[in-house]
Structure formats: structure tokens, C-alpha cells
Chains A and B, each alone.
Chain A
Amino acid sequence: MALSYKNPEFLIERDYDKCINCRVCERQCANEAHYYDEDLDKMMAIDKNCVNCHRCVTLCPTDALRIRKYPLEFKENYNWTGEMINNIYKQAETGGVLLTGMGNPTKKKIYWDHLLLNASQVTNPSIDPLREPMELKTFLGRKPERLEFDQEGNITNLPPQIELETPIMFSAMSFGSISLNACKSLARAASEMGIMYNTGEGGLHQELYQYGANTIVQVASGRFGVHQEYLDAGAAIEIKIGQGAKPGIGGHLPGEKVGEEVSRTRMIPKGTDALSPAPHHDIYSIEDLRQLIYALKEATDYEKPVSVKISAVHNVAAIASGIATAGADIIAIDGYRGGTGAAPTMIRDNVGIPIELALAAVDSRLREEGLRNQVSLVIGGSIRNSADIVKAIALGADAVYIGSAALIALGCHMCQKCYTGKCNWGIATQRPDLVKRLNPEIGTERLKNLIRGWSHEIKEMLGGMGINAIESLRGNRLMLRGIDLNEKELEILGIKHAGE
């Protein structure tokens, strides 16, 4: 190939008055954007290598670095934006599929931001969570329509439940897509906070078995690392049908990420690409799904709830209803802003629907069919803060999955280059020198702090509404009002407009 038309995305600016040539930027950049020039006795930069992950900026002891958007403008064009043009340059050079990581960054309506919460004034008191009990405990799993009791008064018909101290779980992120240290951080934080993390489809590393009580083990189309011991290890099993970032397509973990440990955990040869097929080849219909659900229940003596995770697509409500009747105990729905380690950009940015609308539609449908109380509803796909969680629960979710937010807590700076395997923060990488940058002790604490902080905020918001238990918020759409939403949107969301 001749001249590349690609230009740098970012510009590295260095304040030489401050730079002390300590070279930490150079040592910390897996993309080799910094180097020391002996002749000049100066640190220099290669702008085009920069992905703007902020690692160097964060570690620079003198704050000598700034990263800017590369100041190169195309002629103004609303239609042919620089991004579109650059994408074409890339593809014209490589003939490949545009790849990306993390969630959909495009400018589409974020419904969370059009929902407003209620608070008590006069007619009922708001509750101060610092002084009064405020309960977030949440149970996930199939609930009978009514409880039955034996002669001694013991409950006889309650299926297995997952108990969460707060309605937040770490969503599926496989060992392979993320590092073992990231997995350890998630697992430990989940275990110490009384919540769940999810293995994703990467199997369960031996060192993580100890956190089984707080683990949801996933069974995905690739069946990586799925065996009896694995199923037994978790507190629940999740069948992954789809992922919000890439509905309808499978996964691809490149061979270079399949090192010794990943290979052993996934039970695939070292260095080979781990390809998850787009569909489960034993699930071509809802009946097939039912078979797999019951096969898994059978395999685990009906002791663990089985979750089915789907991406939010157009007819999600009908699909969810089918999944509920197929025997799933939990339905997990992943919205189109959900993150990923790698996805084709076109898929990520154009397939699927917003989780807020999907959630509202599914909750309403399940209620119409009288199924809602039987199955738990977990949603994910870009929960960004505690208010999003409160809104999700008010719309009808039992709990939420957080993925991107958890990774951000661990240090992710949203450079969206996960697929390169060179994550400078030790998260989406298997390179040992990068992996160790994420100290799981610190990671655990950071995640715990996030969960703690969010839980506290949820309590504050609940208290403001005059509610002291999360179950009184669930599906309580009267606590929501819309803003800047049209009639149809309000109708789907099942809420009134602000002021009504």
C-alpha cells in the first residue's frame, strides 16, 4: 500500500518546562506514542499512535501532558463528517470490517436523560437514609404466584433465588476479553458487596471458583469452558443469546489474547481464535431454548436460577414473554448502548433498540400476561449512574447489570480500543505487563466504592420519594415523568409528561 491517508486522531502536547524526562509516559504507553530522544535529550511523541487513553496523562508526575483532538478539520459537511471520511480511508486501505470496542457513542436519544424522578413534599415525609433504614435487598429468580406452606408453616414452593444486597450486578465480561485481574476485581467486589458478577462466556478461572456464591456463570454459543464443575460453581446460570452491542452476531477473541490461562479456562488450544457462533446451534427456536433451560436446571438439580440474556431488539417484548414461558427464571435484556470488547462498528452503532423502551415494553407485556411476578427482569446496556438505576427499577426492572461503568471504575477511559488487546489500564488485555497494572486489591476497592456510592444515592432518591424499600419502587412508574418526549414515547414508557 502506498501513502496512508489516515491522520492522527489526537495530538500529544508536552509542556517542556514541566517535563523531567522521567519517561513514565514512555514506559506506560503500550501504543508507543512516547519516546525519549537521546540526541535532543527530550521526550517526543508520535501522535498517530495515541488512542487518548489518558494513561500517560494520569501517571505524569508533573502534569506536563495534554491530549487534544487533532486539530485537523475537514471542510464542514453535516453529512460527510470527518469520522465517515476517515472510516472510508481505513477501509480503502485494509478492505476490512471497521472494528471498535465499548458501547455505542453515537448521538441518539438517551431516554434516561428524559426521565425525571419524584420526591415527597408535605403530604408524605421524605426519609433520611442516614437515620432510617433503607432497604435495597433484591431477590432474583422465579417467584410463585402465591406462596404455599406445609403443616409446620414452612414455605414449600419457592424456587431458588439470588439474593442481592443492592440491585446492581456486574454484567457478563469474559476472562479473555478482560484480564484475570479485572475478573478478580469484579468477583471480589461482588462477593464483598453481596452482589453478583458474571463470567461472560470465557469460562471460570480456577482462582475464581472461591467466589462462586456471587458468580453467574454464562453459557454462550461457543460453550467455552462449560462443564459440570463450572455449572455447579455459580449461584445462577445465564444463557447468553445476544449482547446489546452486537445483536445477532457472535464473538471473536483473537488468538493473541488466548494465552496459557485463557486457553486452559476456555478449554481451547492456546493461540487459536475463540469464535462464538452467532446463534446457539442447538437453539433455533423458543422450544429449543426451553430444552436448554431445562437441561441446565436438570444438570444442577434445580438449585440455581437460569437467566436468559438477549439484546434489546424490535420485538423484544414478545421474545421476553416467550422466554418467561419457556421457563427462564430471569430475563436479562441488554440495550443497544451496551459495551463490548470488540464489535463491528456498523453493528454496534445501528442494530438494536434503546434499553429504556425495551424495558418498559417488556415489563408492560409481562404484566399484561400476568407473568411479571414470576420472572425477574434485569437490564443493562449503559447504566451510567445511580439515577439511571432508579429510573430502570421504576420502569420495571428488578436489577441492573453494569459493565462499562464497572470498567470505568477500574480505570477504563473509554478509548474504545479494547479490540487491540493493548489496554493500558490492564483491563481489556492479556499482556502480562499490562495486566498487572490493574491491582485487583485496588480494583476491588474501587468497584466497592462505586457500588457503595451508587447504593447510597439510590437510598437518597428512595428516601426522597418516601420509600424505604426498593421493592416499592419496582415498576412504580408514577415516580417517573417524561421531559421532551412525544406521546408515543410516553405511551411506550408508560409514564406521564412532566407537569401532568
Chain B
Amino acid sequence: MRRIPEEKIMSGCAISGILDRKGRRFSGEEIIKSIALMHDRSNGLGGGFAAYGIYPEYKEQYAIHMFYDDLQAKEEVEDFLERHFMISLAEEIPTRKVKAITNSPLIWRYFVLPDQHKLEQANLSEDDYVARCVFKINDQYRGAFVVSSGKNMGVFKGVGYPEDIGEFYQLEQYEAYLWTAHGRFPTNTPGWWGGAHPFTLLDWSIVHNGEISSYGANKRYIEMFGYKCTMMTDTEVITYLFDLLLRKHKLPLELVVKAVAAPLWSEIDRMGEKEKKIASGIRAVYGSTLLNGPFSIILGHKNGFVALNDRIKLRPLVCAEDGERLYVASEESAIREICPEPEKVWAPRGGEPVIGLLEGSSEEWL
């Protein structure tokens, strides 16, 4: 059953992420093991994974993962996709039967490129064009939901414990250089497949543990820039904020962090003159992007990830480094489960981003 709730969804959660900075790909087994350890942080109402580097053969194409409630929805959306894209491949995403997973929607994926003619007409960048189409499907096509839409990446999620979801999607079959995972503990609504994490837009994926009290302010801000928050989830709005600040406003990641997890005024007061001006300017202009309330998130991207806590660290976040591997999770045990003796383990301070980058990619992500 698909139901987009009308009010904001609250949830607690577990998150985990693994990056190989050399870009070596590895199977989904480890991330499943890691997230499974934090079983009690979810309640079986949502789990999901984002995987980067899984479609090397289609890496130039947008991989659109879709949920459909029924065939009619599928037909309508495919009609839309055909009109707006050149589709290289359309296939059902392979799943296996898992006892705990029921009521799954139709799950499909499409490797596409924008229709050149339409793209020119729209006078948009490819990314903007794709994003707009994603909004349109999510907003206007009943019974259809875009799960992910980036290149060489995909999101696999659903209602259930994350380890069951992983098994369901046969993630041991996929190899990625960056995995993130999420186990969900929603408090108010029965989980629905689209509402599970990660949430994505283009290359961005977000897994998030927390509750964004500033949601109303963030939502109304982001909507002024053409985003449509249809999901009523924090994750969605966080994703859009990053998209706006990083991709559209082209702010350096460091400044984006200063906006969404802004340093306290007391810290700004202690900064040097130049830094202070920048930090205050960011807060003045981007105050509405401040994510307020308890959260820890992992923002996945083709170049790596950013893990971030709220600025007063109301939710857990632990990181570890071992060789080329960078781990991040809600709990240290979830890291040690798959990497018992990491070279370094630390808990980042509130508002202090942990940035994991693929070798060779620049800090300015786009």
C-alpha cells in the first residue's frame, strides 16, 4: 500500500556507511552485517541501502529506480519516461523471496539519458532536467515513486528490517565503492516503501537518523527554489537542501556545512575577522537551511560522503579509518562488527563534518 502521509513523519534510526577511498568496489555483505548489528535501532518499518559504483556498464546514464503500486502506474510512468528520455534499458530489479518482506511494490530500473530535443526546449542542465522530471513523477503520478535517479548508483529500500531488505535485493551480488545503509524506526505511520531511506535526488543520497525540528522552516525555504516536498520526511528536505547549496548555489562543501550545521554564534565570535564575516554571512543568508534538532546523516555522492551531526550532537555518530576504508555508523559496534581493529576510531563533534572523498576527486564536488 502506498500512502504519502500528509503530515511530517518522525523517526528514529540506525545509519551506517563504508567508503573505499581508492574506489575499489566490494559487495553489499559488509554493509548488511554492519546495519544488522543495530537491529534494535529499527523496528522493521523501513530499511534501505545506497550503493555507488554498481553500474559501471551504464555509468554515463541516469539509473532510475522505480516503485509502482500497480501496472497502471507503471504504464503511465513509462509513457512519461519514454517521452522525456532515451531509455537504454528497462528491467525489473531482481529480488528474492524473503519471509519478512511482504507487500513489495513493482520494482523497476531504467538507464536513461534526457531526450535532447526536450532538453534544449527546457533550457536546463541535464541534471536540472532530470530532477524536474523526478519531481513531476513523484508529485503527479499516483502510485509511482522514484527511488533513485543518479548515475552509476542506486538505492534499494523497502519496508522491513534492513538486513531483510538487503537479502531481498540480493545486495551481495552488487559491488560498490561506497555503501550507505539505514534502519528505520518510525513512530507514527506504518512504513511505506517510498518512505524508507535512503532518499535521493540525482547523485545525492541521504540516510538520516533524527528529527529535524526546523523542518517547517527548511521546507518552506526550499520550496521557494522550485523543490516540492511531497514526502513529508526530513530526509527529503535535507537532500534538497544539499542539492540546492552544493549543486545549484555551488557553495563549497565546507560552507554548506556552515549553513546546515552552522557554528554557534559564540564560536563565530571567536573566529578571525574574515572567517567571522563569512560565517555570519552564511547564517544571515542561509539561516533557513539550518538543520535544527537532533540528527546524524550520511550524505552519499559519487565522489564520497559527508557524515554530519547536528551542531549540539544530539544523535550518535562514530567514524573509523582503516587503510583505504572509511567507516561511519550510529554505533561503534556496527563498525567493529566488520572491521574489528580499525586504525583510528573517533566521534566527531557536533556540526563537525566527516568528509570521505574518493582519491582524485576535488573538495568542490561539482
Contact with A along B298-335 (1 / 0, CB 8 A): 00000000000001101000000000000000000000
Q: Complex: how many Å from CA A120 to CA B293?
A: 10
By a CB distance below 8 angstroms, the chain A residues around B312 are: 127, 132-133, 468
- Please state if A124 and B211 are interface contacts (CB–CB under 8 Å): yes
Stretch at the interface among B156-164, B196-204, B273-281, B338-346: B273-281
In whole angstroms, how far apart are the Cα atoms of A378 and B54 in the complex? 51
Interface string of A121-164 (1 = CB under 8 A from B): 01111010000110101010101101100001111001001010
A158, A467, A477, A500: which contacts B292 (Cβ < 8 A)? A467
B262 close to chain A: CB less than 8 A: yes
B213 interface residue per 8 A CB criterion? yes
Q: Are B278 and A153 in contact (CB under 8 A)?
A: yes
Residue of B7, B218, B262, B285 near A158 (CB, 8 A) is: B285
Q: In the complex the two chains form, is A133's CB within 8 Å of B286's CB? A: no
B223 to chain A, nearest CB (A): 7
A270 within 8 A of B: no
Q: Would you give the shortest CB distance from A148 to chain B, in whole angstroms?
A: 9
Decide if B166 is an interface residue (CB 8 Å cutoff): no
| B281:A373 contact, CB within 8 angstroms | no
**Given A133-B264, A147-B249, does the pair A124, B294 have CB atoms closer than 8 Å?**
yes
Distance (Å) between the CB of A360 and the closest chain B CB?
12
B-chain residues with CB within 8 Å of residue A137 when the two chains form the complex? 265, 283
7 intermolecular pairs with C-beta atoms under 8 Å apart: A120-B213, A132-B312, A146-B249, A154-B274, A373-B221, A373-B224, A475-B220
Docked complex Cα distance between A473 and B214 (Å) = 6
Question: Across the interface, do B277 and A154 meet the contact criterion of CB distance under 8 Å?
Answer: yes
In the complex, what residues of B have CB within 8 A of residue A147's CB? 249, 251, 255, 281-282, 285-286
B215 in the interface (beta carbon within 8 A): yes
Give bound CA distance, A370 to B215, whole Å: 18
Q: Mark B236-270, 1 if CB is under 8 A from A, else 0.
A: 00000000000011010001000000101110000
Query: How far does the alpha carbon of A155 sit from the alpha carbon of B255 in the complex, in Å?
Result: 11
Given contacts A139-B284, A466-B211, contact A133 B266 (CB under 8 A): yes
Residues in B whose Cβ lies below 8 Å from that of A143: 284-285
A-side residues, CB < 8 A to B, are 120, 122-125, 127, 132-133, 135, 137, 139, 141, 143-144, 146-147, 152-155, 158, 161, 163, 367, 370, 372-373, 394, 465-469, 471-479, 496, 500
Residues of A within 8 A of B266 (CB): 133
**A127 to B274 CA separation, bound complex (whole angstroms):** 31
Contact between B294 and A466 (Cβ–Cβ < 8 Å)? yes
Q: Answer whether A467 and B213 are a contact pair too, CB < 8 Å, given A133-B264, A147-B286, A373-B288.
A: yes
Q: Is the CB of A474 within 8 A of B285?
A: no
Q: Look across to chain B and name the residue whose beta carbon is closest to the beta carbon of A471.
A: B287
Interface presence of B131 (CB below 8 A): no
Q: A120-B211, A120-B213, A154-B274 are in contact. List 15 more A-B contacts (CB 8 A).
A: A127-B312, A132-B312, A139-B284, A147-B281, A158-B284, A367-B223, A465-B213, A467-B213, A467-B292, A467-B293, A468-B311, A468-B312, A474-B288, A475-B216, A475-B217
Instruction: Assess whether B224 is in contact with A372, with CB atoms less than 8 Å apart.
Output: yes
Q: For A123, what are the chain B residues with a Cβ–Cβ distance below 8 Å?
A: 10-12, 187, 211
User: A120-B213, A124-B210, A466-B294 are contacts. A477–B288 as well, Cβ < 8 Å?
Assistant: no
Closest CB-CB distance, A51 to chain B, in whole Å?
A: 45
Check A474 against B224 for contact (C-beta < 8 Å).
no
Q: Judge whether B80 is part of the interface by a CB distance below 8 angstroms.
A: no
Contacts of A154 in B (CB 8 A): 274, 277-278
Residue in B211, B281, B285 whose Cβ sees the most chain A Cβ within 10 Å:
B285
Q: Note all chain B residues with C-beta closer than 8 A to A465.
A: 213
The smallest beta-carbon distance between B263 and chain A, in angstroms, is: 10
Q: A154-B277, A370-B225 are in contact. Are A475 and B288 (CB under 8 A)?
A: yes
Contact A135 B265 (CB under 8 A): yes
Is the pair A469, B292 in contact by a Cβ cutoff of 8 Å? yes
Q: Are A367 and B224 in contact, CB atoms less than 8 angstroms apart?
A: yes
Q: How far is the CB of B334 from chain A (nearest CB, A)?
A: 22
B264 touches A472 (CB 8 A): no
Q: How far is the CA of A152 from the CA of B288 in the complex (A)?
A: 26
Minimum-distance CB pairs A-B, first 4: A471-B287, A472-B214, A478-B216, A476-B216
CB distance from A140 to the nearest CB of B (A): 9
Residues in B whose Cβ lies below 8 Å from that of A141: 284
A471 with B283: CB separation less than 8 A: yes
List B residues 172-219 near A (Cβ within 8 Å): 187, 210-211, 213-218
**Which chain A residues lie closer than 8 Å to B218 at the CB level?**
472
CA–CA, A285 to B151, complex, Å?
A: 52
* Alpha-carbon gap, A373 to B292, bound state (A): 18
Contact residues of B between 22 and 66, Cβ < 8 Å to A? none
Report the bound CA distance from A147 to B281 in whole Å: 8
**Distance in angstroms between the alpha carbons of A123 and B278 in the assembled complex:** 34
* Beta-carbon nearest neighbor of B223 in chain A: A367
Shortest beta-carbon distance, B159 to chain A, in Å?
Answer: 19
Measured between alpha carbons, how far is A475 from B221 in the docked complex, in Å?
8
Chain B residue nearest in CB terms to A474: B217
CB A472 to nearest CB in B, in angstroms, measures: 3
CA distance A120 to B292 in the complex (A): 12
Question: Nearest chain-A residue to B266 (Cβ)?
Answer: A133
| A370: B residues at CB distance < 8 A | 224-225
Chain B residues near A155 (CB-CB < 8 A): 277-278, 281
Does B8 contact A478, Cβ atoms closer than 8 Å? yes
A125 and B249 contact, Cβ closer than 8 Å, known pairs A144-B285, A153-B278, A475-B217: no
Shortest distance between the CB of B241 and any CB in chain A (Å)? 12
Tell me the bound Cα distance from A227 to B225 in angstroms: 41
Partner of A125, one of B223, B274, B314: B314
Q: In the complex the two chains form, is B213's CB within 8 Å of A124's CB? A: yes
Report how far A370 CA is from B216 CA in the complex, Å: 16
Q: Which residues of B contact A467 (CB under 8 A)?
A: 213-214, 292-293
In Å, the complex CA distance between A125 and B292 comes to 11
Which A residues touch B211, using CB under 8 A? Answer: 120, 123-124, 466
A471 touches B213 (CB 8 A): no
CA distance A478 to B214 in the complex (A): 9
Q: Could you say which residues of chain B place their CB within 8 Å of the CB of A475? A: 216-217, 220-221, 288
From B220, B264, B266, B314, residue with most partner A Cβ within 10 Å: B220
CB neighbours of B225 from chain A (8 A): 370
Question: Quick check: is B290 within 8 A (CB to CB) of the other chain?
Answer: yes
A476 near B210 (CB under 8 angstroms)? no
Most buried by B among A124, A137, A469, A478: A124
Contact between chains at B251 and A471 (CB < 8 Å): no
Of the residues B278, B283, B287, contact of A474 by C-beta under 8 Å: B287
- Which residue of chain A is the closest to B215 with respect to CB atoms? A478
Cα of A147 to Cα of B262 in the assembled complex, Å: 15
Contact among A469, A476, A477 with B262 in the assembled complex (CB-CB below 8 Å): A469
- CA of A137 to CA of B279, assembled, Å: 13
Instruction: Provide the residues of chain A in CB contact with B221, threshold 8 Å.
Output: 373, 475
CA distance A141 to B280 in the complex (A): 13
Chain B residues whose CB sits within 8 angstroms of the CB of A372 once the complex forms: 224
Measured in the bound complex, the distance between the Cα atoms of B220 and A325 in whole Å is: 20
Residues of B within 8 A of A478 (CB): 8, 215-216
Q: Are B294 and A471 in contact (CB under 8 A)?
A: no
